[in-house]
Amino acid sequence: MNIASFAPLAVVLPILGAALTFLLIRHSRAQRAVSIAILTVTLLLECWLLASVWEGGTAAVNIGGWMPPWGIVLVVDQFSSLMLVVSSAVSLAVLIYATGQGMADGDRDAPVSIFHPTYLILVAGVSNAFLSGDLFNLYVGFEILLTASYVLITLGGTGPRIRAGVTYVVVSVVSSVLFLIAIAMIYGATGTINMADLAIKLGDLDQGTRTLLHVMLLVAFGIKAAVFPLSFWLPDSYPTAPAPVTAVFAGLLTKVGVYAMVRTETLLFPGDALNAPLMVAALLTMVVGILGALAQSDIKRLLSFTLVSHIGYMVFGLAMSTVAGLGAAVFYVVHHITIQTSLFLVTGLIERRGGSSSMDRVAGLAKLSPVLGVLFFIPAMNLAGIPPFSGFLGKLGLLQAGIELGTPLAYALVIGGVLTSLLTLLAIARVWNRAFWRKPEDAEHPDPVLLAAPEDSATGDRAGRTNVTLLPRTMVGSTLGLVLFGVALTVFAGPLFKVADQSAHEMLDRSAYIHAVLGEDAPVPPVPSAVRPGQQQGGGK
């Protein structure tokens, strides 16, 4: 009996919490208390899991006592437990923010009673996807989180949200169908869907079948992770949702796709078979995404485009399949979850204070609310990769790994990465200049709310209600907490990079994972491709 056998609780607790909050649907105060308590306990449990995996190595739990490869297995390794901790921390901050917003608005504007159960189910789905050691269970995890996200993205059922929701639902369902087709094909080819078992058996297939299955999985996950050219849906659908929902989607959902891509590339299909196409996709994702961001005049849309663009960095790190590259990608995922979520939370606050998130309407915020300026400035600089923030460290790691790899394509990506970083700074600086430094009167269409509100008032009229607290302490506090978490990633970047590198090493090695699931005497097949110069260099570090 070790600590890892408590891993299923990371999924079960939020689901039980969802059931409980559903029963408490008429008591919003109890609902809030339950959901925050459940997420806190889950977060503590996952910290404990991370610590135990750090000491004891990868562990697997057989659900229902069915032995692998027949039963469902949950695997806790360094990468998955790290992702669990970060995702739970971020979702807890967003939950506190959302309850703060609900309390300030008197819970009348949105059907908040539905929000809490759905949100907890979303968290359960994310945890299930991270823990799953079985392809079909991964699909179920995706479906749990997607179904919850369908409800959250159309919360309130207003016209724009329904329009955005349709795009989102249809694209997600199509990607899920692709994933399911890939699972069916993989089962047909190998007779198993256990990922550790697949790692052994997929190597025996002939090259053509392998490539087909590989491409199908990558396309399905690429849609979920918003990799260009499969990213078109994201900027259309994310910005209209309520601020906390957009924040948690931006932070977590695309990263679950990236996580699945990492597992596909390292565990199921190791080697460099599709590295070159992945690198090209990464380059296009970075550059096209950030060029899209520069054209936007709405802050939420701009941030959605930077989100797409920065997915490119993670795919770049993954596509190198060296320890240095993958380690930097893991670090970047952790950094980006935190930073992108905090930026969307701050944008929610901007919308509250200034009445709009459009840069044509909102202005002069630096004077209206200096706190907001600080809260925006730190993660914004972090995103753009200004030293000494973690964004800079992550990008530096990626660029170093790219130069170490030394292929022409890697150099092209290094140049693309630097360019994207600079353009991100430009996009962010535009937001700063327009929304924060410009006088309200200079805005193209200044928001009447903005002009009407006296500069030092803490309350105002919003959406037909008077005396709404503009910046409730809970909302500012949770945003501040997340921004500080982002700063802590910078301060503790050394240990974090060590964890990231070690988890990358473990993932590329594969033996720990396979042994944990199938027992110590399971054979670990060699990585198929023969010559990988970057691997040797990176592995020696």
Partner 1 sequence: MSVNLTLLTVMGALYACGIYLILERSLTRVLLGLMLLANATNLLILATGGYAGLAPIFDKNTPAGDYSDPLPQALILTSIVISFAVTAFMLGIIYRTWVLARQDEIQDDAEDRRVAETPSFDAEDDSVIPVETSEFPLAMIGSDGAGLVDTPVGGGPGPGSGSSQGSGAAAVMSGDRPVRAEQAASEEQPGSLNVDPRPEGGGQ
What is the SS3 assignment for 460? strand
153 or 401: CB nearest partner 1: 153
Contact call for residues 451 and 59 (beta carbons, < 8 A): no
State whether residue 347 is helix, strand or coil: helix
If one counts every other C-beta atom within 10 angstroms of the C-beta of residue 479, the result is 30
Beta bridge partners of 183: none
- State the minimum distance, in angstroms, from the CB of residue 228 to partner 1: 16
Q: Which of 374, 371, 297, 310 is nearest to 338 (CA)?
A: 310
Q: Please classify residue 211 by burial: count the beta carbons closer than 10 Å to its beta carbon, then call 0-12 exposed, 13-18 middle and 19+ buried.
A: middle
Least gap, CB of 477 to partner 1 (angstroms): 31
Three-class secondary structure of residue 254 per DSSP: helix
In the bound complex, what is the minimum distance in angstroms from residue 89's beta carbon to partner 1? 29
Q: Decide: 274 and 218 in contact? Cβ < 8 Å.
A: yes
Write the CA distances from 496 to 328, 359, 388, 397, 506, integer angstroms. Answer: 10, 36, 15, 12, 15
Contact 190, 202 (CB under 8 A): yes
How many CB atoms lie under 10 A from the CB of residue 155? Answer: 19
Rg for the chain, CA atoms, rounded: 23
| C-beta of 204 vs 441, nearer to partner 1 | 441
Going through 32-90 in order, the beta strands assigned E by DSSP cover 59-62, 73-76
By C-beta, is 180 or 419 nearer to partner 1? 180
Nearest approach in angstroms of CB 79 to partner 1 is 26
Task: Compute the least distance from the CB of residue 177 to partner 1, in Å.
Answer: 5
Q: Which is nearer to partner 1, 170 or 418 (CB)?
A: 170
Nearer to partner 1, 89 or 220 (CB): 220
Min dist CB 213 to partner 1, Å, is: 12
Of residues 242 and 486, the one with the C-beta less far from partner 1: 242
Give the dihedral sign, CA 272/275/276/279.
negative
Query: Nearer Cβ to partner 1, position 81 or 304?
Result: 304
Residue 321 three-state SS: coil
User: What single string gives the DSSP state of each residue in 479-494?
Assistant: HHHHHHHHHHHHHTHH
Using the minimum distance from each CB to partner 1, give the nearer residue, 26 or 445. Answer: 445
**At its nearest, how many Å lie between partner 1 and the CB of residue 421?**
21
Residue that the structure tokens 């198929």 belong to? 528
Smallest separation (angstroms) from partner 1 to the CB of 135: 10
Give the binding site for partner 1 (CB under 8 A).
136, 140, 143, 147, 150-151, 154, 157-159, 162-167, 169-170, 173-174, 176-177, 180-181, 183-185, 187-188, 193, 235-236, 239, 295-298, 301, 360, 434, 439, 441-442, 444-445
Nearer to partner 1, 165 or 391 (CB): 165
3-state secondary structure of 469: strand
In the complex, minimum distance from the CB of residue 157 to partner 1, in angstroms, rounded to a whole number: 5
